[in-house]
Amino acid sequence: MAAGLTVAVFGAYGHTGRFVVAHLLDRGFVPVLSGRDAGKLQALATELASAVDVRPASVTDPDSLDRALAGTAAVINCAGPFAATAAPMIEAALRAGIPYVDVAAEIEANVDTFTHFSDRARAADTVIVPAMAFYGGLGDLLTTTAMGDWTTADEAHVAYGLSSWHPTAGTRAAGAVSRQRRDGRAVRYTGGRLEYHQDDLPTLQWPFPDPMGARDVIAEFTMADVVTVPRHLPIPEVRTYMTVEAARDIADPDTPAPTATDQSRRSTQTFLVDALVRRGGRERRAVAWGQDIYAVTAPLAVEAIARILDRRTRTIGVASAGEIFDAPDFLRSLAPHITVELFQ
């Protein structure tokens, strides 16, 4: 088993990074704490009960990244905006000859990773998994699972039923970068390609299954699933939706950051993700629910690292979650962090 191996976490002191470090320790890995701020890294190391290595590094200093990854078995990048951090961290991982996983929700950053590193990662016989998080990773795993024995589908829909969305500073920064790269336009995946537009986003009612029930959602509230799902599934229409309340939260600059409410530092936020695929008038769906979208990213990313290091993978190079892993088995492994149900 991969437990006991050393895994670098870049952005370890960030909100999601702290969850990832804690989960690595729970799984028996040895985390190396890395990031730009040496003081914050040392403060986190002091908080942890286990002895950990602290290695400050900056994406503008390749030598520091090489020192941060030296002797590690893999790296998880939790530091956004990923438009700035993903490429330098992937370059460092390639130099070190280790697999790379990130938790990027930025559509353009994930496109860049697939575009610029697929050939090089395959040539290096290594693995790069972007968007291995709540957005991009979970939706892809659910959609792949819902497909079952279907090899194609006409449409895929991923509806996010969030009770609220209190964004972290990292989420705010990443969103600002994405909006700037798009010149303020919205994006959707239609006709087998990404399309940028300035149309108003409509509101409709989505029939979430119990325990949530029907809720108003913002249609074409596009998330990273429009990159990860079409990467390996021939589905020409991939659409994502967000509950109105959560969309309002993320749009409001005064919405506060998440507040820890239990021993594991999770917020009270709950979620239900409904992945629906259609083919020739038939429907299949896979549903997952749980608590705190940032906290649940940790078991997703760490399970990915465990499977990569154990060689429980289906391909090499740059790959999305549903492409590289056995999606149903992966989802089952996430209990009790996520509850999953299939409707086929």
pLDDT 10s digits, 167-206? 999 999 999 999 999 999 999 999 999 999 999 999 999 9
Same domain, 142 and 252: yes
Sequence-distant (≥ 6) Cβ neighbours of residue 127 within 8 angstroms: 99, 100, 121, 308, 313, 316, 317, 319, 324
Give a yes or no: residue 333 inside a domain. Answer: no
Same domain, 280 and 226: yes
Give a yes or no: residue 29 inside a domain. Answer: yes
Alpha carbons within 13 angstroms on the beta-carbon side of residue 173 total: 12
pLDDT of 51? 82
pLDDT of 210? 84
Report the Cα 334 to chain-centroid distance in Å: 14
> How far is it, in rounded angstroms, from Cα 77 to Cα 203?
34
Across the range 217-245, mean pLDDT stands at 98
Same domain, 18 and 29: yes
Structural domain span for residue 275: 134-293+339-343
Give a yes or no: residue 234 inside a domain. Answer: yes
pLDDT of 3? 67
Q: State the average pLDDT for the chain.
A: 96
pLDDT at 158 over 70: yes
Can you tell me whether residue 340 is helix, strand or coil? strand
Same domain, 98 and 224: no
Give a yes or no: residue 334 inside a domain. Answer: no
Give a yes or no: residue 13 inside a domain. Answer: yes
Taking only the tens place, the pLDDT of each residue in 273-295 is 999 999 999 999 999 999 999 99
What CATH number corresponds to the domain at position 16?
3.40.50.720
Residue 4 structure tokens = 């006991």
pLDDT band at 1 (very low <50, low <70, confident <90, very high): low
Handedness of CA 300, 302, 307, 309 (dihedral sign): positive
pLDDT band at 325 (very low <50, low <70, confident <90, very high): very high
Taking only the tens place, the pLDDT of each residue in 63-90 is 999 999 999 999 999 999 999 999 999 9
Give a yes or no: residue 90 inside a domain. Answer: yes
